[in-house]
Amino acid sequence: MCGAVLIRVGSRGSRLALTQAEGAAARLRAPGIEIALVPITTAGDRDRTRPFGEIGARGVFVKELEEALLDRRVDVAVHSAKDMTSTDTDGLAVGAYIERDDPRDALCGAEAIRPGMRIGTASIRRRAQLLAIEPSLSIEPLRGNVDTRLRKRRERGLDAVVLAACGLDRLGLGREIGHRFDPEELVPEAGQGALALQVRAGEEHLVGAADHAATRRRVEAERACVAAIGGGCLAPVAAHHDGERLTALVAAEDGSWIERRTGDDPAALAQELLAAVP
């Protein structure tokens, strides 16, 4: 297209990530704008066996995309907002949050939690809350993309796995879901269900038309609360804004205690939780 503006959109290379990036690209396309998808491999993609905490801090699926932005190899990075660190990287900004899809966690392979089940998940947030619901569960580490984890459930004879409902829905795999946990039952990861379009600071105009104000307000409240708590992949921390109020949680990894608070102010909520931690 003669005279077209080319926007290079960086994404992880998994089927889900590229599906999400295509959805984001569709919102950016307009007369005079060309979109080129640029797959980028992250640390979390390269190492699919070790727990996240052994690979690095929160952001193992984000760092290489951010480096590509700062190096000007891409112009926009598409992230699952739940994968981002709770504070913005210097020189970068979230120019848009796309309207949020289902933020809930999904149980695949069963319709309910039962005593003694073997459940696969790599998330310590999910592990802590599942064990608080039913202490007799056996929670087994499970890494990989969505298709891999569904396959491993069958191969390893697990009773169920817990995944983000939005990812299954986006891949047309909603039929795999036996139960969607109410956020009051299993508090989601901050930002879960939302896509963040990250750009270099000052270039927010590239994606601003795709921004969904209500999603931004909710996700930024969740991220601010987690940042104030100091949580990440190494601590069972969760935050979810339902459109009216913010709920946040801190827990022991073994589910032996959970502190949960609901309020309006992310910083005040974080302080309440920190004061309540045993």
pLDDT confidence of residue 172: 97
Residue range 240-249: average pLDDT? 97
Show me where the domains of the chain are located: 105-180
pLDDT for residue 11 is more than 90: yes
pLDDT confidence of residue 59: 67
Alpha-carbon distance of 127 to 61, in angstroms, equals 20
Among 83, 101, 102, 105, the active-site one is 83
pTM of the predicted model, to two decimals?
A: 0.90
Among 126, 127, 170, 216, the active-site one is 126
Question: In whole angstroms, how far apart are CA 253 and each of 61, 133, 207?
Answer: 22, 13, 38
Mean pLDDT, all residues of the chain? 91
pLDDT band at residue 209, thresholds of 50, 70 and 90?
very high
Task: Please say if 152 is a catalytic residue.
Answer: no
Q: What are phi and psi of 236, to 5 degrees?
A: -70, 95
Task: Please say if 233 is a catalytic residue.
Answer: yes
pLDDT confidence of residue 41: 84
Alpha-carbon distance of 276 to 274, in angstroms, equals 5
Task: Please say if 88 is a catalytic residue.
Answer: no
Span 44-100, pLDDT tens digits: 565 455 454 443 445 677 989 999 999 999 999 999 999 998 788 999 999 999 999
pLDDT confidence of residue 231: 53
CATH H-level superfamily of 105-180: Periplasmic binding protein-like II (3.40.190.10)
pLDDT confidence of residue 94: 97
Task: Please say if 217 is a catalytic residue.
Answer: no
Residue range 25-45: average pLDDT? 87
Task: Please say if 47 is a catalytic residue.
Answer: no
Task: Please say if 8 is a catalytic residue.
Answer: no
Span 155-167, pLDDT tens digits: 999 999 999 999 9
Task: Please say if 153 is a catalytic residue.
Answer: no
